[in-house]
Amino acid sequence: MNTKTDKYHINVRGIPVEVIRKDIKNFYIGVHPPNGHVRVSAPLHFDEDAIRMAIITRLAWIRRKQAEFAKQERQPHREFVTGESHYFEGRRYRLDVFEQDCPPKVWLPNNTKIALSVRPGSDRAKREAVIHRWYRQHLRAEVPPLLEKWEPKLGVSVNEVRIKRMKTLWGSCNIRAKRIWLNLELAKKSNSCLVYVLVHEMVHLLERDHNDRFRELMDRFLPQWRTYRDTLNRAPLAHEDWAY
């Protein structure tokens, strides 16, 4: 392989691994929610034997992390009907659904309930779309003041923040475009989780790789980032059939 970045999959002792070979100095490995997907970033000079050996030396850690994800609380499949539990900003709420001949909307009548108003006959997909639009609007409102706070602290400028559902990432950063993507699921998590993911992606504008310098920068700007990360990883995962 002679390109700057190559991506492929291998199997190491029964564990599927996504391998990304690129022009970096160090080898990195991560185990990602919701199902313990394993992804490694390897320098171009690593051959496949070296990559496999590096993974093998970390097998105990990989299996321990995958076991943690397997035991993590899962949200049941949602039908978006009255009585279901739904999450917002790290709290569990009871959903109350009202059918009314008016534009759909979502609101919090108190600190225990999420109210969803939909047109009569709205099916599950339409109800879900209304809830997700509400989540998206919430995140869009939360991001600007966070950028205003963190851009001068980090000395970086973010051109754009977008929100979408992602399979294995809470966030991502296009360094060249200075564009950050946030997972829509973050609307369900506590504010500390949103701060952690946003700052994490902003630090990538200073250091692209998850190396010692990256961790040093995180320690400098957000000393409690490991606590926030653990809070995010302990939060209930979406239903296993849902790909975020």
The residue among 167, 145, 165, 132 whose CA lies nearest residue 34 is 167
pTM of the full structure: 0.74
Residue 129 confidence (pLDDT) above 70: yes
Tens of pLDDT, residues 134-188 = 999 999 999 999 999 999 999 999 999 999 998 778 999 999 999 999 999 999 9
Read out DSSP for 66-111? HHHHHHS-BPPPP---TT-EEEETTEEEEEEEEE-SS--EEE-SSS
For residues 72 and 13, which has the higher predicted lDDT (pLDDT)? Answer: 13
241 has a pLDDT exceeding 70: no
Q: What is the mean pLDDT of residues 48-53?
A: 95
Residue of higher predicted confidence among 21 and 236: 21
Question: What's the CATH class of domain 85-234?
Answer: alpha beta
- Taking a C-beta distance cutoff of 8 angstroms, is the pair 235, 189 a contact? yes
Average pLDDT for 24-32 = 88
Could you state, in order of their start, the residue ranges of all structural domains in the chain? 5-71, 85-234
Tokens of 22: 């690129």
Asked whether residue 211 carries a pLDDT value surpassing 80, the answer given is: yes
pLDDT confidence of residue 168: 72
Query: Other CB atoms closer than 10 Å to residue 46's CB: what's the count?
Result: 18
Average pLDDT over residues 75-104: 93
Q: Is the pLDDT of residue 34 over 90?
A: no
The distance of Cα 128 from the centroid of its chain, to the nearest Å, equals: 19
User: What is the tens place of the pLDDT at every residue in 59-85?
Assistant: 999 999 888 877 766 666 789 999 999
Q: What is the pLDDT of residue 68?
A: 80
Residue 33 has pLDDT above 90, yes or no: no
**What does the pLDDT read at residue 76?**
67
Q: What is the reported pLDDT for 3? A: 44
Mean pLDDT of the chain: 90
Whether residue 214 has pLDDT greater than 70: yes
Rounded to 5°, the CA angle 215-219-224 comes to 120
Q: Report residue 157 as tokens.
A: 């400028």
Distance CA 151, CA 155 (A): 6
Share of the chain above pLDDT 70, in %: 91
Distance separating alpha carbons of residues 30 and 36, to the nearest angstrom: 9
